[in-house]
Amino acid sequence: MKQVTPQNIYDDTTFFEGYKALRDGDTGLNGPLEIPALHRLLPSLANLHVLDLGCGFGNFARFARTQGAASVTGVDISARMLEEAAMRTSDPAVGYVHQPIETYEPAPQSFDLVVSSLALHYIENYAELVQRVYHALKPGGCFVLSVEHPICTAYPAGWVRDADGHKRYWPVDQYREEGRRDTRWFVDGVVKYHRTVETYVNTLIRAGFVLDHLGEPAPAEEALALRPELAADCRRPPFLFLRAMRPAH
C-alpha cells in the first residue's frame, strides 16, 4: 500500500491556537473524560521507561514522572507542540523527538510502557505501527491507547440538531468503509483515518499482543455535575480505549 505523507495540521497557526485554547481552558472532553479514563488503565509507573506517541504539550510525560517513571520519550510531528512541551518541561529524564510517529523507529525491547492518547486515528498504517510498538516493548510490557471512537470517525458529520439547536442524534454511516476521512476541526481539511473496532482489536492480536481491556467510557458523575452539557456524551461513546500486553514469555 502506498504510504501518504503524514499530515501536520497541528503546525497550522489557526489550528494550533484553537487546540491550545481548548486544552489549556479544559473546554473539551480531555479533562473530564479522556485523561481520567487513560490513567485508570495504567500500570504502576514506578521505574518504568515510557514512550508517548503523539505527545503534544508533554502533559502525559510530566504526569508520568510525578508517578515515578524512570524516563519518558515523547514523539510528535508538530514543531509547535514540541516547542510548547519543552517550555513547560524542566526534567532531564523527559526527552522529546520531533518526528512523525509513523516513521519513528524505537530500539527493540527498550520500553516498559507505550502510551498513545488520541493520536492513532491520524495515521494511515495502523498495523505497521502496532508491529513497531510490539517490538519496542520489553516482554511483559504494556500498550495503552485511546482513539476517537469509530462511531465518530465513520461518518464525521457531527450531531444532528433540531431547529432550536438541541442535539437529536449522532448519525452513523459507512462504518465498514475504512479509510481516509476529511473533516473540519478548527480548520477545514483535517485528515483522519476511520477503522472499525474489529480492526483496532484484531490488529493488536495478530501482532502478538494479548488484549486485556476494551473501554468506551462515559463522563463520570462528578464531571456531569460540573458540566451538565456532557450528558450528550453518554448517548454515544466519544472514545475507544484499548490496553494490550506483550506476553512475558
* pTM, 2 dp: 0.91
CATH of the domain at 209: 3.40.50.150
DSSP assignment of 20-82: HHHHHHT-SSIIIIIHHHHHHT----TT-EEEEET-TTSHHHHHHHHTT-SEEEEEES-HHHH
Residue 232 vs residue 11, higher pLDDT: 232
How confident is the model at residue 69, as a pLDDT? Answer: 98
213: containing domain: 9-245
- Give domain status of residue 143, yes or no: yes
How confident is the model at residue 13, as a pLDDT? Answer: 72
Beta bridge pairs of residue 147: 240
- Give domain status of residue 3, yes or no: no
Q: Are 80 and 11 in contact (CB under 8 A)?
A: yes
- Give domain status of residue 2, yes or no: no
Q: Taking residues 171-185, what's their average pLDDT?
A: 91
Give how many domains the chain has, as a whole number: 1
User: If pLDDT is split at 50, 70 and 90, which confidence band does 183 have?
Assistant: confident
- Give domain status of residue 65, yes or no: yes
Which stretch of 9-13, 39-43, 77-81, 191-195 has the lowest confidence by average pLDDT? 9-13
Q: What is the pLDDT of residues 98-137, one digit of tens each?
A: 999 999 999 999 999 999 999 999 999 999 999 999 999 9
- Give domain status of residue 4, yes or no: no
- Give domain status of residue 1, yes or no: no
